C-alpha cells in the first residue's frame, strides 16, 4: 500500500452518496499491469468505517427515494449507462486489458456483454411481475414482487466488468440499492464504469456506491452488516463458504457463483473441425482464468489420438503475449501468486501424467516482466489427481478418455462442481441423454461458452446457489409478498 500523496497516475476514489470520496485510511492500493509489471493507477485502501458509511448511504437512499417503485426511472438509468459504455468502449477496453491482462479483443467482447446485459435488464425493470389468485369466493390473493432492499455485490478479478454488471444490472432493475466491492487486483475498470454511472442523471443519488479495498475486512463487513439484505458473491468456492457463514449471522439472502471444473465430452461422431478450436478457446480464454473454463477434456478412446494431435497443434499456434497487441491470443495470468499456483499443478501433472504441450513459464525479453505461462495439455492422469479434481484457474487442460456413453457421463459428473459442460456429438438422442444426465447449470451442445442475458446461468453442487441472467436472475433480487383481500358481501 501507499500513503496518499500527489500522483501523476490516476487515483480512483470511492463513490458514496453520489460523491467521490477518499478512504479514511488515506492509503492507496496499487493496480499493476500483469503483462508488464507497470503501475497503472491507485485505488482506495478502504476501511470498515468507509464501507459502513457507504452501506448507510445506500440504505438511506433506498428508504427515502422512489427508486424501488419507479420502474421507468430504472429503465432510463440502465439504458443510459449502456449508452455511456458504448460511447466509451475503446477507452474501457484499454483499461481492462492493462489492468487484468486479457487480450484487447477479449476486453471488447466482455464490455459488449456488459452493454447487452444492461439493455436487457433495462427492459426487464419495466416487467417485474407477480400474479393474482382467487383463493375462495370472497378471498383474493395478490403475489407481489418487491425489491429486497440493499444488495452487496462482491465481484471477481477475472471478468471484472461483466461479472459486476451481470449482478448490478438485475439488482438495480429489481429496484434495490447496491454497494459494490470489486476485487483488489482489478479496481480500476469497476471505478471507470462508476464514473459513467455518475454521468447518468436518472440514477437516484446515493442508490449505488462502490468501495475498493481488501475483502478480508470490508468484504467481511458487508457479509455481517444488518443493513445489507442480500450478498451476491462471485469467486472461489472456499470464500463462498465463508460468505455463507457470515450471512448466517442475520439470515441474509445469498447468491453465489463459485468454482468449476467443467468437462468437454467429445464422442466419436463429433465434428472435430468445429470442436477443436472451440475446446481450445474454452480453456485458454483469459489464460484459463474463467469459472466456466472447459478445463477437463473427456474424449472417446477411438479418436483420442487424433483429438490430442489436433488440439496440440492448435495450442502451440496460440500467440501468448501482451494483451494490448491485436494479434495476441492469450495474455498473462493475473499475479505472481497465480503463476506459482499454475506451476505447482503442472509439477503434479508432470509426476502423475504426461504433459503433451506447455507446462512451463514463458521467459525471455518482455516475457520476464509479466506472468506468462504456456498453454498446457496434460494426459494420462489418474482420476484422483488434483489436476483433474481441483479448479486451477490457469491455462491447464486435463485429458481423460472413455469407452462408452455410461462411462462418459460418470466421468463428467465425477466432480464436486457443476457449473457447465460441453457435449460434442451428432447423435440427437445421445445429446439429450447427456444434457439430462450431466449435473451442471449449463450444458452446451456442439458449442461452448455461449452466454446471453436472456438465458439463466448458475451452478449445481459446489458451483453455487441461485441463478444469474434471465427471468430467474431478476427474481433472485426480489422479495415475494402475499397481499390478501377478503371481500365483504354487500
Q: What angle do CA 216, 219, 224 make, to 5 degrees?
A: 105
Backbone conformation region of residue 365, classed left if phi is above 0, alpha if psi is from -120 to 50, else beta: left
d(CA 344, CA 350) in angstroms, rounded, equals 10
8 A C-beta contact, residue 442 and residue 457: yes
H or E segment to which residue 16 belongs: strand 14-16
Contact 266, 188 (CB under 8 A): no
Q: Which residue do the cell numbers 469497476 mark?
A: 190
Classify residue 27 by burial, with Cβ atoms within 10 Å: 0-12, 13-18, 19+: middle
CB contact at 8 A, 53 and 26: no
- The three three-digit cell numbers of residue 368, written as one number: 520476464
Taking the C-alpha atoms of residue 182 and residue 117, their distance in angstroms, rounded to an integer, is 18
What phi-psi label fits residue 322: left (phi over 0), alpha (psi between -120 and 50 degrees) or beta? beta
How many residues in the chain?
A: 490
CB 478 within 8 Å of CB 174: yes
β-bridge pairing 253-257 and 464-465: antiparallel
Catalytic positions: 257
Beta bridge partners of 133: 141
> Taking a C-beta distance cutoff of 8 angstroms, is the pair 41, 12 a contact?
yes
Q: Which three cell numbers stand for residue 218?
A: 470490508
Amino acid at each position: 500500500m501507499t500513503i496518499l500523496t500527489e500522483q501523476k497516475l490516476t487515483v480512483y476514489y470511492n463513490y458514496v452518496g453520489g460523491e467521490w470520496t477518499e478512504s479514511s485510511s488515506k492509503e492507496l492500493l496499487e493496480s499493476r499491469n500483469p503483462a508488464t509489471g507497470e503501475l497503472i493507477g491507485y485505488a482506495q485502501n478502504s476501511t470498515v468505517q468507509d464501507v459502513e458509511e457507504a452501506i448507510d448511504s445506500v440504505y438511506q437512499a433506498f428508504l427515502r427515494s422512489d427508486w424501488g417503485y419507479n420502474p421507468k426511472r430504472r429503465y432510463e438509468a440502465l439504458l443510459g449507462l449502456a449508452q455511456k459504455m458504448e460511447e466509451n468502449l475503446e477507452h474501457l477496453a484499454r483499461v481492462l486489458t492493462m489492468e487484468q491482462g486479457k487480450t484487447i479483443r477479449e476486453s471488447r467482447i466482455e464490455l459488449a456483454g456488459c452493454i447487452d446485459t444492461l439493455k436487457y435488464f433495462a427492459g426487464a425493470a419495466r416487467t417485474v411481475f407477480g400474479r393474482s389468485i382467487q383463493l375462495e369466493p370472497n378471498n383474493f390473493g395478490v403475489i407481489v414482487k418487491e425489491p429486497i432492499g440493499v444488495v452487496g455485490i462482491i465481484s471477481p478479478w477475472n471478468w471484472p466488468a461483466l461479472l459486476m454488471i451481470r449482478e448490478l444490472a438485475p439488482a438495480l432493475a429489481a429496484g434495490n440499492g447496491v454497494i459494490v466491492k470489486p476485487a483488489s487486483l482489478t479496481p480500476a475498470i469497476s471505478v471507470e464504469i462508476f464514473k459513467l454511472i455518475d454521468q447518468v442523471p436518472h440514477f437516484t443519488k446515493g442508490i449505488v456506491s462502490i468501495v475498493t479495498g481488501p475483502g478480508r475486512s470490508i468484504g467481511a463487513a458487508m457479509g455481517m452488516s444488518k443493513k445489507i439484505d442480500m450478498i451476491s458473491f462471485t469467486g472461489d468456492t472456499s470464500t463462498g463458504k465463508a460468505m455463507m457463514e457470515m450471512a448466517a449471522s442475520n439470515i441474509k439472502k445469498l447468491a453465489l457463483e463459485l468454482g468449476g471444473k467443467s468437462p468437454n465430452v467429445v464422442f466419436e461422431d463429433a465434428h472435430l473441425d468445429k470442436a477443436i478450436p472451440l475446446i481450445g478457446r474454452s480453456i485458454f480464454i483469459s489464460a484459463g482464468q474463467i469459472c466456466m473454463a472447459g478445463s477437463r477434456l473427456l474424449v472417446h478412446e477411438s479418436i483420442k489420438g487424433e483429438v490430442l494431435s489436433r488440439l496440440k497443434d492448435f495450442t502451440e499456434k496460440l500467440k501468448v503475449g501482451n494483451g494490448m497487441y491485436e494479434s495476441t491470443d492469450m495474455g498473462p495470468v493475473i499475479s505472481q501468486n497465480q503463476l506459482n499456483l499454475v506451476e505447482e499443478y503442472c509439477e503434479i501433472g508432470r509426476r502423475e501424467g504426461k504433459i503433451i504441450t506447455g507446462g512451463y513459464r514463458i521467459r525471455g525479453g518482455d516475457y520476464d516482466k509479466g506472468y506468462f505461462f504456456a498453454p498446457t495439455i496434460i494426459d494420462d492422469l489418474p482420476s484422483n489427481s488434483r489436476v483433474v479434481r481441483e479448479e486451477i484457474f490457469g491455462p491447464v487442460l486435463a485429458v481423460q478418455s472413455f469407452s462408452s456413453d455410461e462411462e462418459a457421463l460418470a466421468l463428467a459428473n465425477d466432480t464436486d462442481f457443476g457449473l457447465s459442460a460441453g457435449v460434442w456429438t451428432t447423435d440427437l438422442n445421445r445429446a439429450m441423454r447427456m444434457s439430462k444426465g450431466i449435473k451442471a447449470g449449463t450444458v452446451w451442445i456442439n458449442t461452448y461458452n455461449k452466454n446471453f442475458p436472456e438465458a439463466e446461468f448458475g451452478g449445481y453442487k459446489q458451483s453455487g446457489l441461485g441463478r444469474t441472467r434471465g427471468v430467474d436472475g431478476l427474481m433472485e433480487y426480489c422479495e415475494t409478498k402475499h397481499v390478501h383481500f377478503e371481500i365483504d358481501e354487500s
